[in-house]
Amino acid sequence: MADTEKLLEFLGLVGKLKKTERSGWVRNGIPDSESVADHSFRTAILAFILGDKLEVDGEKLLKMVLIHDLPESITGDITMHDKEYGRKSEIERKAMEKLCSSTENGNEIMSLWKEFEEGKSKESRLAHELDKLEMLIQSFEYEKQYNIHLDEFWKDAKIIKNEKLIELLESFKKRK
C-alpha cells in the first residue's frame, strides 16, 4: 500500500502542471494561456512523431520531454524575468528530488532529467530543441489568434539546430 500512496502523491504533484500557466504567455497578456501540461503534451507528441526520424533513441527522447518540466509542478514556471532565475537550477533540482522520492521510477526520472539539464547527449540537445519548437509553434498560434507580435519568443529560434526541425519551423512561419 505504501507504493500506492507514493504513486498517488506523485500523480497529485504532477497534476498541478495542468493548472500551472506558462509565465511568458501570462506576462504578455495572453488570455486563457496554455498550461505547462499543455506545452509538455505537444512537445511529447513532437518527440513521438519525429524521434526515430531524427537519428536518436526515440523512446529516450520521448521520456525526456515528458519529464523535462516536472519540477514546475512544485516551483511554478520560472523564467529569466523572475527574481529566482539565478537559482533556477538549484530550486528545480530540489523539486525533482522531492518528486522522484515519490515514485518507484524516481532514479530513472532523475537520471533523464539531469541528462536533459546537462544538454550533452544527442537526445537531450534535441529535447531542448523540441521544447523551443513547441513554444514557437504556440507563439505563432497566439500571434495569429490575437493579431499580436511576440518577438521576444522568436529570439529562441536560434536554439534549433536540427535541419528537419528548422524546416518544420519555417513551414509554420510561412502559414502566416
Per residue of the chain (176 residues), give pLDDT as tens.
458 888 899 999 999 999 999 999 999 999 999 999 999 999 999 999 999 899 999 999 999 999 999 999 999 888 878 888 888 899 999 999 999 998 888 999 999 999 999 999 999 999 999 999 999 999 999 999 999 999 999 998 999 999 999 999 999 888 76
97 touches 110 (CB < 8 A) = yes
Rounded to whole angstroms, the Cα distance separating 147 from 149 reads 7
Q: Delimit the domains of the chain by residue range.
A: 2-174
The whole-model pTM stands at 0.94
The matching CATH number, chosen from 1.10.357.10, 1.20.58.410, 1.10.10.10, 1.10.3210.10, for 2-174 is: 1.10.3210.10
